[in-house]
């Protein structure tokens, strides 16, 4: 083996590319990235369809972590126009002020500052999300339901469920039974495909954490001008950064920097074998799109591929229980339908201002509707048209997944028309994009997942990172932090991996990481 140390990184998503860039910046270890597809960014990639850009899932760029915010700004500056002043508040004390820079007005590689607007469609009415307990909301839900909401929340406060057994208990304790049934139950069950009573409470603790009605009310009267807004719950963020041409733009830039600085990225390269000897990974083999097989030896192996796939690629047989747990992990798959329309038709409005809309209506399968014009006007080739993304949650092989592309296009158009968002005659173009294993779930064999963690931690030179690599429903910034901490551990000779697994388990995740600075 060469005297130059190398790190094999499986996957060119946010976690994998962050790890590669961190090796370049902070070590003499050469990163070699193996990516199954031809794209950078994983589900944070951007797809170009006839000049219109699609974000797979919608990715707001904000974080409570200063490390991540600084990391993003290092890759791309923030666009300023005219006399605009942008303030980013760090650590609640320091203010970094970026004043107007006319040179960035026509720059391609910049972040835009965007206002967040998310709403819920329920009974063909739009409600702000997070909910605003104001007259408009109470008027739309009606007097009877409003009274029920208030009383059920009071009951939840006075007589909470002492031992939360599932996600339904979690929601009821924080919002009351009536508000849960009105705004949370149906959408959540669309996403996961099973009743909330069967979803472990860990999902709520990780994704919603401390959010409740009290925080919603406090937030309604608070200052919302800071982009970073690090004291807010994630669901309450009002402003965010967004790459001018979608999230894939940023990850393409990161990939370019990795290659320019001596790293390697091999696309269309599926990892088919991982050689494991005496609790050490020695080699990874890939099968390329043209059928060629190549092998890579390395000092360190960092995986963001689904754990199920990793375990099944090991050349040496693992304990039966490890195979059982890994192969019993469940994933939720995802379909996005891009629709280009002349205009929208909801309440006779040509275009709504939402980034996305949660669809709580029971009579349709669509879970969320994105309006790409509002993420960035540069996502749309012709801004006189409306570019929509319809999001469906499903399981590979089920009725939704099995529809042909034309069948799914017609199905999606009819659903959007049935909830009075569009007129089917005004659809100009469409595309269907399927994404496997978009969401790792917390059911199946997940209750035994700790045994998998213990087993993988016994491999000194193997590190699991990212959403699928750790089977953890991370946000983009969490996935990046797992990569940053991994490189820090390797650089500093830290053998214990607990600080990697601890990311996104606390109420407040990493605010700073001085070990790699």
* Residue 40 contacts residue 255 (beta carbons within 8 Å): yes
Whether residue 213 contacts residue 184, with contact meaning beta carbons closer than 8 Å, is answered with: no
Nearest to 203 by CA among 514, 509, 504, 511: 504
Separation of alpha carbons 325 and 236, rounded Å:
36
**List of the chain residues with pLDDT < 70:** 1-2, 81-105, 133, 204-237, 506-517
What does DSSP assign to residue 475?
A: -
Distance CA 390, CA 429 (A): 13
* CA separation for the pair 444, 53 (Å, rounded): 35
- Helix ranges (H only) for 339-475 are 372-375, 405-418, 449-457
- What pLDDT score was predicted for residue 506? 54
Question: 390-439 pLDDT, tens per residue?
Answer: 999 999 999 999 999 999 999 999 999 999 999 999 999 999 999 999 99
CA distance 52 to 382: 8
Query: What angle in degrees, to the nearest 10, is found between the helix axes of 66-75 and 247-260?
Result: 80
Can you give the pTM of this predicted structure? 0.88
Going by DSSP bridges, is the β-strand pair 46-49/52-55 parallel, antiparallel, or unpaired?
antiparallel
Strand partners, 281: 276
**What pLDDT score was predicted for residue 83?**
57
Distance, CA of 400 to CA of 417 (rounded, Å) = 18
Q: pLDDT by residue (tens digit) across 391-402?
A: 999 999 999 999
């Amino acid at each position: 083996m060469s005297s130059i140390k190398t790190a094999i990184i499986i996957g060119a998503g946010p976690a994998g590319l962050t790890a590669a860039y961190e090796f370049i910046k902070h070590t003499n270890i050469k990163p070699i990235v193996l990516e199954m597809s031809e794209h950078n960014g994983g589900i944070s990639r951007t797809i170009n369809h006839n000049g219109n850009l699609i974000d797979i899932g919608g990715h707001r760029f904000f974080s409570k972590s200063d490390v991540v915010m600084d990391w993003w700004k290092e890759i791309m500056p923030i666009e300023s126009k005219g006399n605009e002043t942008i303030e980013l508040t760090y650590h609640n004390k320091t203010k970094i002020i970026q004043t107007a820079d006319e040179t960035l007005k026509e720059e391609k590689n910049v972040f835009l500052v965007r206002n967040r607007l998310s709403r819920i469609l329920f009974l063909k009415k739009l409600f702000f999300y997070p909910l605003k307990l104001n007259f408009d909301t109470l008027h739309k839900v009606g007097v009877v339901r409003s009274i029920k909401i208030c009383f059920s929340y009071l009951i939840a406060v006075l007589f909470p469920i002492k031992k939360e057994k599932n996600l339904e208990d979690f929601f009821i304790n924080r919002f009351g039974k009536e508000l849960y049934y009105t705004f949370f139950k149906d959408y959540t069950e669309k996403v996961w495909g099973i009743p909330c009573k069967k979803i472990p409470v860990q999902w709520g603790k990780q994704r919603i954490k401390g959010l409740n009605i009290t925080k919603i009310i406090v937030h309604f009267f608070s200052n919302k001008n800071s982009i970073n807004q690090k004291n807010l719950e994630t669901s309450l963020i009002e402003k965010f950064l967004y790459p001018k041409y979608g999230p894939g733009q940023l990850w393409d830039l990161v990939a370019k920097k990795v290659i320019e600085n001596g790293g390697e990225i091999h696309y269309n390269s599926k990892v088919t074998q991982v050689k494991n000897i005496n609790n050490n990974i020695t080699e990874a083999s890939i099968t390329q799109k043209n059928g060629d097989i190549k092998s890579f030896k390395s000092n360190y192996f960092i995986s963001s591929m689904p754990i199920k796939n990793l375990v099944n690629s090991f050349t040496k047989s693992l304990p039966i229980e490890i195979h059982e747990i890994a192969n019993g992990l469940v994933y939720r798959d995802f379909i996005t339908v891009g629709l280009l329309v002349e205009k929208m038709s909801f309440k006779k409005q040509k275009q709504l201002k939402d980034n996305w809309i949660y669809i709580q209506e029971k009579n349709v399968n669509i879970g969320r509707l994105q309006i790409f014009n509002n993420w960035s006007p540069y996502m749309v080739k012709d801004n006189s048209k409306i570019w929509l993304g319809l999001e469906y949650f499903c399981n590979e092989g089920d009725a939704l997944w099995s529809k042909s592309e034309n069948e799914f296009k017609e199905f999606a158009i009819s659903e959007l028309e049935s909830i009075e968002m569009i007129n089917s005659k005004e659809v100009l173009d469409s595309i269907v994009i399927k994404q496997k294993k978009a969401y790792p779930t917390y059911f199946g064999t997940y209750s035994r997942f700790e045994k998998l963690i213990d087993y993988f931690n016994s491999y000194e030179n193997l590190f699991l990172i990212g959403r699928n690599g750790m089977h953890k429903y991370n946000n983009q910034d969490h996935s990046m932090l797992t990569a940053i901490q991994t490189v820090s551990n390797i650089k500093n000779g830290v053998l214990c991996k607990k600080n990697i697994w601890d990311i996104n388990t606390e109420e407040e995740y990493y605010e700073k990481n001085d070990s790699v600075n």
